[in-house]
Structure 1
């Protein structure tokens, strides 16, 4: 069943991410989604949880109260199809950006075609574009990122500097500067993130993907894993070709 609640004192995407994380960590919660604009939380539960249980899981500054609602019970296949369609619709911005980056990289290298150059431009544009979206909410990004990145969980400062790392890597690839260093850094950085993404997918935890920052609300899905994997494969391939 799914219940709706009002949550007071959320002022930014960082607050939203924190509340969503705390709610999703509660035993018995299947999925919790928080809407900053409406100051609301939609919580799918295995069985009804007392409001006191929800309140205790949140920091003191937030107050959660029930909202008049209709309970929504899972009806198996119908809900599964609906959720899948909604998830795909949410991922449209990611697919569009990936498509534009791919087309731009092809146009830059189609005559004459150069595979290595295409990959460097693709990775450079990938980092520049994705870091741009992270920069839109530097305050809220670290908390969202720490929800699944293992290193960001241990070292909060890593979440703050991550967008700048991506920007630097993008410049190195596009300017063809210290390519080998940029490739090794990419493998390390995205390798760590991919481990966190894989854990989240295996654990079937529904959290927000911070790949495009917090400006766009994207769910953590297999698409996120594939996106990271493409970059990792390209980096490994480039390192091998450079060493031959």
Structure 2
């Protein structure tokens, strides 16, 4: 008999191999096949194995649950859309809150003597500093998650390791108003590369985790990731046109 389970917490090929290994060691499990993109595992058993036994076999990093086969005739298309939208908004709540606080802080810093350019520079600086901080929390696993959708990180492995430090440097340059033109050009290059990968992932409808806030927060790759990068790119272009 073969059962399909949902697995959360996997970010790379190493995670896939680990899940297959741990589940494969459970008594009466004869074969385990993990699909990283779908976050699923097909487990073949010689006799029934309780879901709880499979859960206990995995480290705390991973969460296992039985995949339910839903009857599509019991759900209207409207209810499916509403459920998916609610779930997506809930999952993106940390990202939206962080962007809100960054935007609010940037505005409050200049509300007495309003300067639109200064607000944008501070927003970009705080954006990079905050996002690099979350990546630094799990610097060991971030590169593997990042290379799942960033084209350059896929080809040059070291790029994933230095990317959080690039973000930190850009953030400091914006906040300190140091070599702004260079920082803007670097921002355009770095975020454009990532946006290409994000766009391809969305078009391919792949279900993977976004590494924009590192691996500490489990964020899905959605349109919000594309919009987040697009805002920064537009700001960089506006600032560059005013400087040049």
Give the TM-score normalised by the residue count of structure 2.
0.76
In the other structure, the counterpart of 1:71 is: 68
Q: Which runs of 5+ in 2 are unaligned?
A: 24-29, 45-49, 52-65
In the other structure, the counterpart of 1:111 is: 112
How far off is 1:20 after superposition?
Answer: 9.0
For residues 82-161 of structure 1, the aligned pairs below 5 Å read 82-161=83-162
How far off is 1:70 after superposition?
Answer: 5.7
Q: Which moved more, 1:160-169 or 1:64-73?
A: 64-73
User: How many pairs were matched up?
Assistant: 207
In the other structure, the counterpart of 2:183 is: 182
For residues 154-233 of structure 1, the aligned pairs below 5 Å read 154-233=155-234
List per-residue Cα deviations over 1:123-143 (Å, max 9, x = no partner): 000000000000000011001
Q: Which runs of 5+ in 1 are unaligned?
A: 8-12, 24-33, 41-50
Q: Which moved more, 1:179-188 or 1:80-89?
A: 80-89
How far off is 1:112 after superposition?
Answer: 1.1
User: Is the partner of 2:109 in helix, strand or coil?
Assistant: helix
How far off is 1:54 after superposition?
Answer: 1.9
In the other structure, the counterpart of 2:57 is: none
List per-residue Cα deviations over 1:115-158 (Å, max 9, x = no partner): 11011000000000000000000011001100100000001110
User: Is the partner of 1:4 in helix, strand or coil?
Assistant: strand
Q: 1:21 to 1:146 in 2, by over 3 A?
A: farther
CA contact (8 A) 2:181 2:240 kept: yes
Q: 1:211 to 1:114 in 2, by over 3 A?
A: same
CA contact (8 A) 2:31 2:43 kept: no
Determine which of 1, 14, 18 is the counterpart of 2:12.
Answer: 18
In the other structure, the counterpart of 1:238 is: 239
CA contact (8 A) 1:21 1:147 kept: no
Give the TM-score normalised by the residue count of structure 1.
0.76
